[in-house]
């Protein structure tokens, strides 16, 4: 159980750092709402369109592609951290490297496909 104590402390400190400033601001800040503070405000002027207007689907497509490629690239970091161990082990030296080459090849194929379909173009 003592092995998990540092993790528990890390979680508690993280929650405290996130919650305490918000709670202190709520408790200590003056609460004096008026009509100007409660009015909608956007970029220095009053909002002139409905907040529920339709967005172009390209915004969502670019966001989804960014998340997709960003998460896939995040899988490279654990591999990079143990790369020295992979290379040092004779039995998996080639397998570990080829496996990551296949992964990167799939990423490149996906990127080329998205580029060829025009998903990255903005008019």
65 falls in which pLDDT band (50, 70, 90)? Answer: confident
Q: Per CATH, which fold does 5-116 belong to?
A: Methane Monooxygenase Hydroxylase; Chain G, domain 1 (1.20.58)
Kindly list the domain boundaries of the chain, sorted by start residue. Answer: 5-116
Cβ-contact 65, 120 below 8 angstroms: yes
pTM above 0.75, yes or no: no
What's the pLDDT tens digit per position in 22-64? 999 999 998 888 877 777 666 666 666 666 777 777 788 888 8
Structure-token pair, residue 60: 């969502």
- The H helix count followed by the E strand count for the chain is 5, 0
24-33 pLDDT tens trace = 999 999 888 8
Q: In the prediction, which pLDDT does 105 show?
A: 93
Position 71 scores a pLDDT of 86
In whole angstroms, give the CA distance from residue 25 to residue 58: 38
């Amino acid at each position: 159980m003592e092995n998990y104590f540092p993790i528990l402390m890390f979680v508690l400190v993280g929650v405290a750092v996130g919650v305490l400033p918000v709670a202190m601001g709520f408790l200590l800040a003056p609460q004096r709402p008026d009509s100007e503070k409660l009015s909608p405000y956007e970029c220095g002027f009053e909002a002139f369109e409905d907040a529920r207007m339709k967005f172009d689907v390209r915004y969502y497509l670019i966001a989804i592609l960014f998340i997709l490629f960003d998460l896939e690239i995040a899988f490279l970091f654990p591999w990079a951290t143990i790369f020295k161990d992979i290379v040092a082990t004779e039995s998996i030296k080639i397998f570990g490297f080829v496996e990551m080459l296949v992964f990167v090849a799939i990423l490149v194929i996906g990127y080329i496909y998205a580029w060829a379909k025009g998903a990255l173009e903005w008019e």
